[in-house]
Structures are given as C-alpha cells and as structure tokens.
Amino acid sequence: MKILGIESSCDETAAAVVEDGTRVISSVVASQVEEHKLYGGVVPEIASRRHAEAIVPVVHQALEQAGTALADIDAIAVTYAPGLIGALLVGVNFAKGLSLSTGIPLVPTHHLRSHIASNYISNPDLKPPFLCLVVSGGHSHIVLVEDYTKMRIIGRTRDDAAGEAFDKAARTMGMPYPGGIELDKVAQNGNPLAFKLPRPVVHDAPYDFSFSGLKTAVINLIHNSEQKGIEINKPDVCASFRYAVVDCLVTNFLKAAEDYNIKRLVIAGGVSANSLLRSTLAEECKKRGYEFYMPEKKWCGDNAAMVGSQGYYEYLSGRVAGTDLNAYATMSIEV
C-alpha cells in the first residue's frame, strides 16, 4: 500500500511516498531554516507563506522521484496537529483539496506519532509495544506505545521542551538557530564535568521533566562571566549542559522502563539526533539487556516519510477524515 505523506507543521515543507509503513520510495524536504536563522527562531507568518509557495512543487517532486502517479496512491496522510496553526493549515488544506479532487482517502496524522514512526523506517523489525522517549523542539514526553495507534503519556515536561532548552542555551552563546545541532557538535570537544549544573526533578512525578531552571542556570553562567569580562570555555559549557539535559532524560526514561517493566526502548524527535543521548542510551540498554532502537539521523528531524509511515498504520486502524478536517496547534498524542 502506497501512502503520500505531507508535512508542514513547522519550518519544513515535506512530501514523501512510503510503502507499507516501512519502505521509503521518495522523500523531499524543503527547509526554510536559512530564512528563520535571520530572526533567531521560526517566524510563524513567514513559515506559512513559504509553505504555501513550496507545497505544490514539493509534492510534485515526491511523486516524480517515486515514479508514482497519483492514481497509484492509496491514501494521503497529512500532519494536522500539533504545530504552528498557519503552517499546519497549508498542508491540511492542500491535502483536503487533493483528496477531494482525486477521491483518494485522507488520513489525519499526529506529528509526534509520526516522529515515533520514523523508527519503523529505520528498524523494520520494530513492533509495539515499547516505551518511547519523544524529544523535539516543542515536546518532551515518555510515551507508552501499546500499539501503532494506541499511546499513553506517562511522563512529560512541565515547562520547556528539551530541544527548546538546547536552542536557548545555544542562542545565548551566539550560535545560529536551531542551536541544538551546533551545541551538540561543540560539546564533543568539551569537558562535561567542567561546570556543575542542576538536575531539576518534579516532586511526586518521577517521569516528568523540568528544563527551564537548567536553561536559566546555564544562561546565568554565561551572562555572569560576560559581565566579569571572563572568557568562558564554550566547549566546556556545551558539554556540561548537554550532559545535564541528557542525564535528566535518561534517568527518568530508564526509571519508567524499570517501573513499567518494559525492555524495549525507543527514541524519536529532533533531539533524538543528539549524539550523547544516543550513545548513553545504547550503552545503558546494553548493560540492562534491553532492546534499543533509534531512527537514523536523517529521519530524526521533520520529514514526510515518517508521516507516510504513521499514516499507513492510522489508515489500517480506520482513521479517515472528510473535507471538514481542521488543523490544531495543540493535541495530545493519545487522541
């Protein structure tokens, strides 16, 4: 079964053709990141406009690269939540029009569920149930994936997402948006024990995260040394901060796995590209005899192949929408 996936929830316009949830036949991503860099973050109005310009050529390219005619597409899966509302609406309205004019079924797909599905592409043997750490620019969740379309959140951030914390820390050090990637690179040459940073915990909620205090601590560290005219060792700050964030993520994730007695662990979302998170979890899972899966780096960030993958499972579960489909800025992964 061939699914056309369409993604426009943030700053990437993407389309892909995916077969049976795991085989990517084509994948096209038009990134707007260079333009948003000028402003230090995503400007929603610009994002919507660029999606509107890119959506037609991107879908065309995805079909062309797949050597697939629209007539051979079995369903159109589109990201309808969560994300920037104006950006989501471009993809949703385009997909609705395409579905209406061709009669191809329309499948609404949740962005974070799609991030999880990127793992089915990279690891075709992977099957639920498993425990997934979903870490992106907007979300940090520990999700119990009971089945492809049945999920339960057992831990979440109370304030900033991990990606957001990485980006803000990086921005304070003058790194371009999105700084998480750059911070990860610079951290490779630093000492993770150079600066002592807090490991915030949420009282009575052992699987929840809180990154805002940690973010403020690193920003204060940088500002204080600037005020004193002391040049701070950037690689050491990056390494110490990365270690602190990864430590919080890994500690809660492993505790949840132990308490829920789940021995198959998975990571997903933009931050799952973080090299320390990947290596630490691979090591810890090996020690404990757990199975561990992660997406290939090319599928960690926003793309439409993951939408085509999750869309396949949503379609099989009977999720099909009509032309009254709307986009939603927020929506739980459980719905």
Binding site for Zn ion (CB under 5 A): 136, 302
Strand order in the sheet with 23-31: 23-31, 12-19, 2-7, 75-81, 106-110
User: Nearer to Zn ion by C-beta: 9 or 240?
Assistant: 9
- Please report whether residue 151 would count as binding ligand KG4 according to CB under 6 A: no
Please tell me whether residue 314 binds ligand KG4 under the rule CB under 6 A.
no
| 240, amino acid identity | S
Interface with ligand KG4 (CB under 6 A), residue from 181, 257, 281, 321: 181
CB of 137 to ligand KG4, least distance (A): 3
The answer to the question of residue 167 lying near ligand KG4 (CB under 6 A) is: yes
When binding is defined by CB under 6 A, the residue of 32, 114, 136, 310 that contacts ligand KG4 is: 136
Contact of residue 271 among ligand KG4, Zn ion, none (CB under 5-8 Å per partner type): ligand KG4
Q: Which is nearer to ligand KG4, 167 or 208 (CB)?
A: 167
Residue 196 is encoded by which pair of tokens? Answer: 């002592």
When the beta carbons of 91 and 163 are compared against ligand KG4, the nearer one is: 163
| Contacting residue, 6, 10, 16, 95, with ligand KG4 by CB under 6 A | 10
Does residue 5 belong to the site contacting ligand KG4 (CB under 6 A)? no
- Pick between residue 208 and residue 302 the one whose CB is nearest to Zn ion: 302
Closer by beta carbon to ligand KG4, 152 or else 185: 185
Instruction: Decide if residue 138 touches ligand KG4 (CB under 6 A).
Output: yes
Look at residue 295 and give the partner it binds from ligand KG4, Zn ion, none, a contact being a CB closer than 5 to 8 Å depending on partner kind: none
By CB under 6 A, tell whether 190 contacts ligand KG4. no
Provide the minimum distance between the beta carbon of 242 and ligand KG4 in the complex, in angstroms, as a whole number: 7
* Partner from Zn ion, ligand KG4, none binding residue 178, C-beta < 5-8 Å depending on class: ligand KG4
Under the binding rule (CB under 6 A), the answer on residue 184 touching ligand KG4 is: yes
What 63-68 contacts at long range (C-beta under 8 Å, 24+ apart), as own/partner pairs, is: 63/4, 63/15, 63/17, 63/26, 64/26, 65/17, 65/25, 65/26, 65/28, 66/2, 66/17, 66/25, 66/26, 67/25, 68/2, 68/17, 68/25, 68/26
Residue 135 beta carbon to ligand KG4: minimum distance, rounded to whole angstroms:
8
Q: Which stretch binds ligand KG4 (CB under 6 A): 37-45, 52-60, 177-185, 315-323?
A: 177-185
In angstroms, the CA 44 to CA 87 distance is 7
Interface ranges with ligand KG4 (CB under 6 A): 10, 115, 136-138, 163, 166-167, 178, 180-181, 184, 269-271, 273-274, 301-302
